[in-house]
Structure 1
Amino acid sequence: MPSSDIFQDQGWLGYFDFLNGPVYTELVKDFWKKCDIFTQENADREYENKVVEDLENNRGKSRIELGLREFTETEIRSGCTGYEV
């Protein structure tokens, strides 16, 4: 029995049509502009800038102790209305 018959019997074909529906290109473009790729290089620069703000007190502190987000891997960072998403 083909898998399409199974989905048809369960009434799921409309769901797959929904997934293949229209793409709202303007909405995607609007959100895409607000995204940044945050790499290890960016994390290092962010850390160095924070340490330089107050060398005596900030030297040797971790990212979290400095109020920065922990960096574990390259990530896509997005902001929406001023809040990180």
Structure 2
Amino acid sequence: MYKVKVTHRVLANRRLACEIYPEVFVVDNGAVISTYAGPANGYCPCEPVEPEIDEVFEMSEQQLRDAIRWATSIYRPWR
């Protein structure tokens, strides 16, 4: 498990999220979402939290793997 700082809130359900790579967010309920995935279709599914928010939540190893998969599918760093 990793602890991540809250940087965003999911627009649809107000859950806490952390942007761990540009346009890739880990959500405190276990989800990984991206601006370019699924129903988001190019718009950002999250909004930044207020600067005074100083919260953290745990991210699992699986969430990290999922986030890496999204990031590499979006940015294709091997090219």
* TM-score range relative to shorter protein: under 0.3
The structure with the greater share of residues assigned to strand is 2
The structure with the greater share of residues assigned to helix is 1
Q: How does the TM-score come out when normalised to structure 1?
A: 0.25
Q: How does the TM-score come out when normalised to structure 2?
A: 0.26
Which structure exhibits the higher relative contact order, with contacts defined as CA atoms closer than 8 Å and separated by 6 or more residues? Answer: 2
